[in-house]
Structure 1
Amino acid sequence: MPISQIAVGSPAEFGNSGALKAALAEFISVLIFVFAGEGSGVAFNKLTDSGSTTPAGLVAAALAHGFGLFVAVSIGANISGGHVNPAVTFGAFLGGHITLITGLLYWIAQLLGSVVACLLLKFSTGGLETPAFTLSSDVSVWNAVVFEIVMTFGLVYTVYATALDPKKGNIGIIAPIAIGLIVGANILAGGAFDGASMNPAVSFGPAVVSWSWDNHWVYWVGPLIGSAIAAVVYELFFISPNTHEPLPTTDF
């Protein structure tokens, strides 16, 4: 069972140079990702004088987040694993791929990276608002929680299949682009309803800088539940010993 692989780690990891370098890589990757993703929203508001979201704006947000995440995962993959998301880190922890201590370092770095990105964005745009994630008027908090659970499940399942599965083989080469594409696709599906966060760090930075916390818990509870389900399902059915063998290539 995946739960048996959970590791707490040692407090010494807080001072371990390798763990600190990995955390720094997560900080930089999240900063780059959030600056591009949140920046696309700020740019849209400037171009439309803070008008209503349009289909074109949704597509722009999906592209900015998809492209930005592709790069952010790629540049962090060889150092930290390229999590770029506390929900991904949580899923990796549940599967025993990272210790609790190192995971906490990642969380701190990821949240700080998002806050710094939003502060830099606010400064570089002359004080323009960095909009926090909000629910559409006809979307309840529980609708949004389910949206976040399903979208984050898809994201973390993709991470497991392309990056964490030891049997991934050459498919690991496309992990960053696959992860970026699922996020872009999910934004097209859920962006009009709750902003399609899938990432507590992405919603945390704008909330801090704009000091807007309405329904912020949704963007933690949904992604963490979705991540946990994806991790347990993939570990239990496809990674655990004697549960899965890849089909021979002649079979497909």
Structure 2
Amino acid sequence: MGRGFAYFIGWLIAASVSGAHFNPATSLAVYLVEGKYARQIGRLLLYWLFQLMGAYAGILLIYLIFKRPVLGYFLWPNLQDPTPLFWYFSPAGNIYYGKVVLLEILNTLTFTWVYLLVIYKPSLRTVDEIMKGIAVSVTLWICYFLCAGSGACLNPAFGLAQTTYQIGFLNGADQNGNGFASLIWVYFPMPFFGAILAAIFFRLNVFFDNRALKQVPVAAPIAPGGGGAVVI
């Protein structure tokens, strides 16, 4: 919930300026949807650079505030129950990677798809920016909730910066930071994959909407001296 509210504040500040992406995966989806590939590639790379810088700045603030390992800030699946019912680990301690991968892709897809609908769907263009921000922020909160302790990254910049934090801080404290970083191959590329799927589904949504509009009967003008309108 805290991350959802934080995104809403960021939306109010940046939506009218930059689109309030804050996420390389979201920026990639916007890039694919707009389709201006040659003209917008420089802008995309610039977004990615500053998003990564922002992620590392946030990790630095976390370090300055706590100055000690905080388990809740580690990017790692959680055990949901202390009983023998394991959600993300086998009885031998091995991670069920399929669950983590599925949830990262599915929830990134869901958030990004809703973001694209709110920004680009023609019927929502007149909706107030605050209402759009509430819709996207609540969606983000729900997606984090539906991750059910899988790590809930959904953001490649966040995943890379937090993994760096885990490696550097824990290894500096004579703990196993490398072990916590073993899921970077999930938390970095999988949000990109989910965002690409969201862009494809959004383009399909627009295609079928336009196709349906073309099939709606249109009333022709009444001819002089004629009776009623003719439906074509």
Give TM-score, length-normalised by structure 2. 0.71
Contact kept in structure 1, 2:105 and 2:190, CA below 8 Å: yes
Contact kept in structure 2, 1:152 and 1:227, CA below 8 Å: yes
Quote the offset at 1:244 in angstroms: 5.3
Cα RMSD over matched residues? 2.4
Give the Cα separation in 1 of the matches to 2:162 and 2:101. Answer: 19
Q: In the superposition, relative to structure 1, how do residues 109 and 244 fare at CA in structure 2: closer, same or farther (>3 Å)?
A: farther
Residue number in structure 2 paired with 1:90: 28
Residue number in structure 1 paired with 2:53: 112
Residue number in structure 2 paired with 1:232: 200
Q: In the superposition, relative to structure 1, how do residues 101 and 166 fare at CA in structure 2: closer, same or farther (>3 Å)?
A: farther
Aligned residues: 183
Instruction: Output the amino acid matched with 1:206.
Output: Q
Contact kept in structure 1, 2:160 and 2:188, CA below 8 Å: no
Structure 1 outlier segments of 4+, above 6 Å: none
Instruction: Output the amino acid matched with 1:226.
Output: G
Q: In the superposition, relative to structure 1, how do residues 240 and 115 fare at CA in structure 2: closer, same or farther (>3 Å)?
A: farther
Give the Cα separation in 1 of the matches to 2:74 and 2:35. Answer: 31
User: How big is each residue's C-alpha offset from its partner over 1:221-248, in whole Å with a ceiling of 9 and x where there is no partner?
Assistant: 2211111111111113216883354xxx
Give SS of 2:34's match: coil
Q: Percent identity?
A: 23
Alignment of 1:37-186 (within 5 A): 63-96=1-34, 99-125=40-66, 127-129=67-69, 131-136=73-78, 137-138=88-89, 139-171=95-127, 173=129, 174-186=131-143
Quote the offset at 1:187 in angstroms: 1.6
Larger Rg: 2
Q: In the superposition, relative to structure 1, how do residues 97 and 166 fare at CA in structure 2: closer, same or farther (>3 Å)?
A: farther
Contact kept in structure 1, 2:119 and 2:125, CA below 8 Å: no
Instruction: Output the amino acid matched with 2:13.
Output: I
Contact kept in structure 1, 2:23 and 2:155, CA below 8 Å: yes
Contact kept in structure 1, 2:111 and 2:136, CA below 8 Å: yes
Contact kept in structure 2, 1:200 and 1:220, CA below 8 Å: yes
Instruction: Output the amino acid matched with 2:191.
Output: P
Quote the offset at 1:201 in angstroms: 1.9
Give SS of 2:144's match: helix
Give the Cα separation in 2 of the matches to 1:177 and 1:241. Answer: 25
Give the Cα separation in 2 of the matches to 1:241 and 1:189. Answer: 29
Give the Cα separation in 1 of the matches to 2:202 and 2:154. Answer: 18
Quote the offset at 1:214 in angstroms: 1.5
Contact kept in structure 2, 1:160 and 1:234, CA below 8 Å: yes
Instruction: Output the amino acid matched with 2:138.
Output: L
Give SS of 1:90's match: helix
Q: 1:200 aligns with which of 156, 159, 162?
A: 156
